[in-house]
Amino acid sequence: MVIEILDRVRGVQRLIVKENQRVIALYKGKFHGVLTPGEHVLRADRGRLEIEWHDLARPEFVSIFDKALFRDHAEVAEEYLTEIRAGADEVVVVSRDKRLHAVLKPEERAVYWTEAGPWTAERFDVAGDLAVPEKVQKRLTGVAKLALVTSVDVAEGHVGLLFVDGKFVGELEAGAHMF
């Protein structure tokens, strides 16, 4: 209690950041830094300190300071964050510790706390062929991320017709297909 009073008089604030937390700190509206686990004493006079708490259990970095951090403090962003972007004609399968985490649509972007990884990104060109490779189909089957893909089973003795944007693209043989 005495320490709290002294801190208030001195114009500082103590923050204790846990192992599973990270904090974005701003002082007078300017980026101060990313705070990692431990105790931090920061200048906080007249309410000029802003802090944004992040829990690594939710590895996606969602912040109102996202663009400013990447634009003005690229070295800090590179140290703490992993940015993954899908190109105009590609889909990206994002894995965390070798387990499927997300599927990014063309031109979609995701940012993750690097320490919540390791993160890998498998890129698939969808400009010419929308078929999902077999090795990836197995990983996507039964996962909630399937809203981004369509799977079709063509019965034995039948032929499937594939249309993309209303245009006939080709025939599908009997078996399982994913697009």
| pLDDT reading at 10 higher than 60 | yes
pLDDT at res. 144: 45
- pTM to 2 decimals? 0.74
Judge whether 160 and 150 are in contact, CB under 8 Å: no
Dump pLDDT digits (tens) for 96-149.
Answer: 988 888 888 889 999 999 999 899 998 888 777 767 766 666 666 655 455 666
**Tens digit of each residue's pLDDT (9 = 90 or more) over 166-178:** 777 777 887 777 7
Per-residue pLDDT of 29-70, as tens digits, reads 899 999 999 998 888 777 788 999 999 999 999 999 999 999
Average confidence (pLDDT) over 22-29: 92
Question: How does DSSP assign 7-74, residue by residue?
Answer: HHHHTEEEEEE-TTEEEEEEETTEEEEEE-SEEEEEE-GGG-EEEEEEETTS-B---TTHHHHHHH-H
Q: Which single residue is written with the structure tokens 């994913």? A: 178
The secondary structure of residue 165, as a DSSP letter, is: T
Q: Give pLDDT, residue 43.
A: 81
Quick one: pLDDT at residue 19?
95
Pairwise CA distance, residues 64 & 54, whole Å: 12
**Whole-angstrom distance, CA of residue 66 vs CA of residue 163:** 39
More confident site: 67 or 151: 67
